[in-house]
């Protein structure tokens, strides 16, 4: 997608500088800066510090991390796998990408591994872009139907109101995004969309990243506090919700940024469709019960007790927003049970969030 009118991907190999170039997402929205990764340590740090984040992008960064490790002289694929896998626990795309890349490298002679690892990482990045674009096409059909249905009821309606949580836009993937891809495609087709952007405390991926992306693409949006969604739904101000996923189980339970579950409950109570957009790499067909089985990341309490923003001098600064004497807990994700999910939008098409429907998808992918 575009930054100041120029097309970017979140991660790419920079042949001139012989490095992996990423957008440093910890500096957005106030500073747009790219960073060079040249080692396994830097790739691991980029994931843990959330310079890169979002399930699909974490996976692709790990694939580039394997390349950087091999290039740096590390020969043990097992060690590289373990180092990268330990960076973040919830998004299954990390394990998916590492398994795919290391399996192919194990079958590659040592002397060719560096070159093959780079090829594999680049292929994963291209495939992620294609998958997200296809998610956009499938999701756009649903948005178009929702817009036509709204117009049929109210010919004076002026926009389709969509609520999203966290950032599941192009910054969370290589390009296009998952939840935002249908929105970008609908906007390009002339469907008048307006997006309610949950700020998404504690790290504010909604206010910092989603709002910035939408503004760069000229899409109407409004940032709201995390607890506003239920109120808006009660007053008919939300036509549908779309979010992303970090891990989706074989029965359709969806794990996404903390607070997603509450939005799904409010949507269910108000008869608002609740869609989840995800590439097939985000399914974990080995799990059947998301609430019990998906590992939930717990992050540092400072993400809750402190906030980052611009000071009066326009400098990026951190301030403490609460007393240091209170205990803090910082669960990163929660699980939305399948019964609250209207449909799953994948690059393979739209599936209902049920074991039977996903069994078809798993079989088509050769995963069962």
Catalytic residues, by residue number, are 246
Name the closest residue to ligand MRU (Cβ). Answer: 244
User: Which of 206, 244, 290, 337 is the binder for ligand MRU (CB under 6 A)?
Assistant: 244
Helix (H) or strand (E) holding 2: strand 2-3
* Contacting ligand MRU within 97-156 (CB under 6 A): none
The reply on whether position 89 binds ligand MRU by CB under 6 A is: no
Shortest reach from residue 245's CB to ligand MRU, in Å: 6
# residues near ligand MRU by CB under 6 A: 18
Shortest reach from residue 358's CB to ligand MRU, in Å: 18
Coil, helix or strand for 134? helix
Shortest reach from residue 54's CB to ligand MRU, in Å: 4
Q: How many CA atoms lie within 13 A of 223 on its CB side?
A: 17
The reply on whether position 61 binds ligand MRU by CB under 6 A is: no
The reply on whether position 205 binds ligand MRU by CB under 6 A is: yes
Residue 365 tokens read as 């992918």
- For 206-224, letters b (16+ CB in 10 Å) and e give bbbbbbbbbebbebebebb
The reply on whether position 257 binds ligand MRU by CB under 6 A is: yes
User: Which of 125, 168, 195, 232 is the binder for ligand MRU (CB under 6 A)?
Assistant: 168
Closest CB to ligand MRU among 86 and 115? 86
Vertex 289 angle, CA 287 and 294, to 5° = 65
| Angstrom distances, CA of residue 111 to CA of 49, 108, 123 | 32, 8, 20
Closest to 92 measured CA to CA, from 59, 60, 65: 59
- CB atoms inside a 10 Å sphere around CB 255: 30
Which residues make up the interface to ligand MRU (CB under 6 A)?
53-56, 91, 166, 168, 172-173, 177-178, 205, 244-246, 256-257, 332
């Amino acid at each position: 997608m575009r930054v100041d009118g120029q097309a970017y991907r979140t991660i790419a190999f920079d042949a001139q500088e012989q490095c992996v170039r990423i957008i440093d997402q910890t500096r957005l929205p106030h500073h747009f800066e790219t960073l060079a990764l040249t080692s396994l340590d830097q790739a691991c740090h980029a994931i843990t510090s959330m310079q890169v984040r979002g399930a699909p992008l974490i996976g692709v960064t790990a694939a580039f991390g394997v390349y950087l490790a091999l290039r740096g002289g590390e020969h043990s694929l097992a060690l590289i796998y373990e180092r990268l896998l330990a960076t973040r626990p919830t998004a299954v795309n990390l394990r998916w990408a590492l398994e795919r890349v290391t399996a192919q490298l194990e079958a590659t002679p040592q002397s060719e591994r560096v070159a093959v690892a780079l090829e594999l990482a680049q292929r994963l990045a291209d495939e992620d872009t294609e998958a997200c674009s296809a998610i956009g096409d499938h999701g756009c059909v649903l948005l178009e139907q929702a817009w036509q249905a709204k117009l049929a009821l109210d010919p004076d309606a002026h926009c389709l109101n969509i609520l999203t949580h966290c950032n599941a836009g192009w910054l969370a993937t290589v390009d296009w995004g998952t939840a935002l891809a249908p929105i970008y495609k609908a906007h390009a087709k002339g469907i008048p969309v307006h997006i309610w952007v949950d700020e998404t405390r504690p790290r504010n991926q909604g206010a910092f990243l989603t709002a910035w992306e939408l503004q760069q693409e000229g899409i109407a949006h409004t940032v709201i506090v995390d607890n506003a969604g239920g109120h808006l739904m009660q007053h008919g101000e939300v036509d549908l919700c779309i979010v992303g996923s970090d891990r989706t189980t074989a029965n359709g339970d969806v794990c996404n940024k903390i607070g997603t579950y509450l939005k799904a409950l409010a949507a269910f109570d108000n008869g608002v469709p609740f869609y989840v957009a995800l590439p097939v790499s985000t399914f974990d067909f080995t799990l059947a019960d998301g609430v019990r089985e998906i590992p939930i990341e717990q992050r540092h309490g400072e993400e809750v007790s402190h906030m980052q923003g611009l000071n009066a001098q326009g400098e990026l600064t951190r301030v403490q927003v609460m007393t240091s004497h209170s205990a803090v807990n910082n669960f990163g994700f929660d699980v939305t049970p399948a019964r609250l999910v209207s449909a799953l939008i994948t690059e393979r098409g739209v599936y209902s969030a049920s074991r039977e429907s996903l069994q078809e998808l798993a079989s088509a992918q050769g995963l069962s």
